[in-house]
Amino acid sequence: MSLSNKATARSKKTAEVAVPDKLYFRIGEVSRLCELPSYVLRFWETEFSQLKPVKSSTGQRMYRRKDVENVLKIKKLLYEEGFTIVGARQQLRAEVKVDKKQNPLPFPSHPGPELKYIRQGLREILTMLSARPS
């Protein structure tokens, strides 16, 4: 198998990982799902602020679904796209900044007939409530 075929096979693996619908995953489960040794996951926790598994009362790392998805993103950046750890960290931060930018709400520039109808209905309700004896 050539080098490009290996890369293609690896990228298919990462893209095809189906994360089960669970609240929490133990580190061993994440290790099997993501095909990574546990020590790599523990190391990545120190390098990437996005990975913050909670610890159970027994000290076990409990990864949430979002953590598992982040592990898969990091794995893709490092192993498939060739990023360094510093570069992957910057890439993840850039993605978060893009996600935080919110598009403006699509309010109409001038009120339409529906909005006038709703306002009139609200005024009528307000009038009825104001007229009621307390």
pLDDT along the chain (134 residues), means of 10: 47 65 92 95 94 91 93 95 94 78 65 82 91 74
Give the SS3 label for residue 110: coil
pLDDT score recorded for residue 133: 73
For residues 87 and 45, give the distance between their C-alpha atoms in angstroms, rounded to a whole number.
16
Per-residue model confidence (pLDDT) at position 31? 95
Look at residue 82 in the predicted model and tell me its pLDDT: 94
Q: What does the domain layout of the chain look like in residue ranges?
A: 3-100
Query: What CATH number has the domain spanning 3-100?
Result: 1.10.1660.10
pLDDT number for residue 101: 65
Residue 8 has a pLDDT of 46
Record the pTM: 0.62
